[in-house]
């Protein structure tokens, strides 16, 4: 479990996060949602320790990452997998080299062991045989899958994904969502995803944190979100007439039961 406690962050005069507290549930798909500029990416950067807050704590199983020494921090970092926006693969390296990078950095495995592990994760994301391809030779969806394979190659306890669906067509988005969701369950990972994708929210949101103007406004499951009476959240989720009507129908069916 990851607990965010009273996080404040500003850039010069501008306050970007205001007393944000939230919990990322263990072994679940946790989503951070909110309009552009509401502070989701800054919050995620703080959660993984890439950025320091002005005040507040981020507890991994009760340990505040901002109180750890370098050795302890490195140990937590090896338990964190990250999927960045745009996949962030090394263009000059093959798929296999990209996936082996964390193994080269953080393990003392032999080349043979590293290759075996790379092949294992490649197979898990359905890309067996793509080892020698370069990023420029594969599609956007395949790049995401390579980036996911790289993110899970060290068997992480925590997985962070920043807008994993950006730039993908709806069908490929669903496949990537399914893959992240299945990996989360299969390996009991605590997954945190920044997303704008309403399909992800409704289908895969075990736990959802809604950010609005730098504050956490709501926290709950995809079952509860439909019945939330937070006005900003409703405007955000049910932005179209179609979705508003769907909500009304769901609410009236719920009352009838």
Ligand X SMILES: Nc1ncnc2c1ncn2[C@@H]1O[C@H](COP(=O)(O)OP(=O)(O)OP(=O)(O)O)[C@@H](O)[C@H]1O
Q: Output phi, psi for 142, to 5 deg.
A: -65, -40
Q: Output phi, psi for 176, to 5 deg.
A: -65, -45
The SS3 call for residue 14 is strand
Displacement of CA 144 from its chain's centroid (Å): 13
CA 9 to CA 1: how far, in whole Å? 22
The least distance separating ligand X from the CB of residue 179, rounded to whole angstroms, comes to 22
> Binding residues for ligand X, how many (CB under 6 A)?
10
The least distance separating ligand X from the CB of residue 34, rounded to whole angstroms, comes to 6
- Of 33-41, 119-127, 165-173, 223-231, the window that binds ligand X (rule: CB under 6 A) is 33-41
- Of 37-45, 151-159, 221-229, 232-240, the window that binds ligand X (rule: CB under 6 A) is 37-45
DSSP structural state of residue 240: S
- Of 40-48, 146-154, 219-227, 246-254, the window that binds ligand X (rule: CB under 6 A) is 40-48
**x-marked contacts with ligand X along 1-30 as a string, rule CB under 6 A:** ----------x----x--------------
The least distance separating ligand X from the CB of residue 14, rounded to whole angstroms, comes to 6
**If you count them, how many residues does the chain have?**
257
34 lies in the binding site for ligand X (CB under 6 A): yes
| Cβ-based nearer residue to ligand X, 11 or 242 | 11
- Of 34-42, 89-97, 106-114, 228-236, the window that binds ligand X (rule: CB under 6 A) is 34-42
Interface residue with ligand X among 38, 87, 94, 98 (CB under 6 A) is 38
Pairing label, strands 2-11, 55-60: antiparallel
Interface residue with ligand X among 33, 39, 164, 218 (CB under 6 A) is 39
40 lies in the binding site for ligand X (CB under 6 A): yes
Burial 96-134 (b: 16+ CB within 10 A, else e): bbbbbbbbeeeeeeeeeebbebbbebbebbebeebbeee
Pairing label, strands 215-220, 14-24: unpaired
Positions touching ligand X (CB under 6 A) are 11, 16, 34, 36-42
């Amino acid at each position: 479990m990851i607990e965010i406690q009273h996080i404040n962050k500003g850039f010069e005069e501008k306050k970007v996060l205001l007393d944000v507290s939230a919990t990322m549930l263990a072994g679940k798909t946790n989503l951070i949602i909110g309009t552009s500029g509401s502070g989701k990416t800054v919050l995620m950067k703080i959660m993984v320790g890439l950025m320091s807050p002005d005040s507040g704590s981020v507890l991994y199983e009760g340990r505040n990452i901002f109180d750890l020494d370098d050795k302890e921090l490195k140990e937590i970092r090896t338990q964190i997998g990250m999927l960045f926006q745009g996949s962030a693969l090394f263009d000059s390296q093959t798929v296999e080299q990209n996936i082996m990078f964390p193994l080269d950095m953080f393990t003392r495995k032999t080349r043979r062991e590293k290759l075996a592990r790379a092949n294992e994760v490649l197979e898990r994301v359905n890309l067996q045989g793509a080892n020698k391809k370069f990023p420029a030779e594969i599609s956007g969806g395949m790049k995401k899958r390579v980036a996911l394979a790289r993110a899970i190659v060290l068997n992480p306890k925590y997985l962070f994904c920043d807008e994993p669906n950006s730039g993908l067509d709806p069908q490929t988005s669903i496949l990537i969502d399914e893959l992240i969701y299945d990996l989360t369950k299969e390996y009991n990972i605590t997954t945190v995803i920044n997303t704008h994708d309403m399909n992800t929210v409704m289908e895969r949101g075990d736990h959802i944190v809604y950010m609005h103007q730098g504050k956490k406004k709501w926290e709950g499951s995809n079952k509860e979100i439909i019945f939330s009476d937070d006005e900003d959240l409703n405007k955000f989720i049910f932005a179209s007439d179609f979705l508003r009507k769907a909500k009304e129908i769901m609410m009236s069916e719920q009352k009838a039961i």
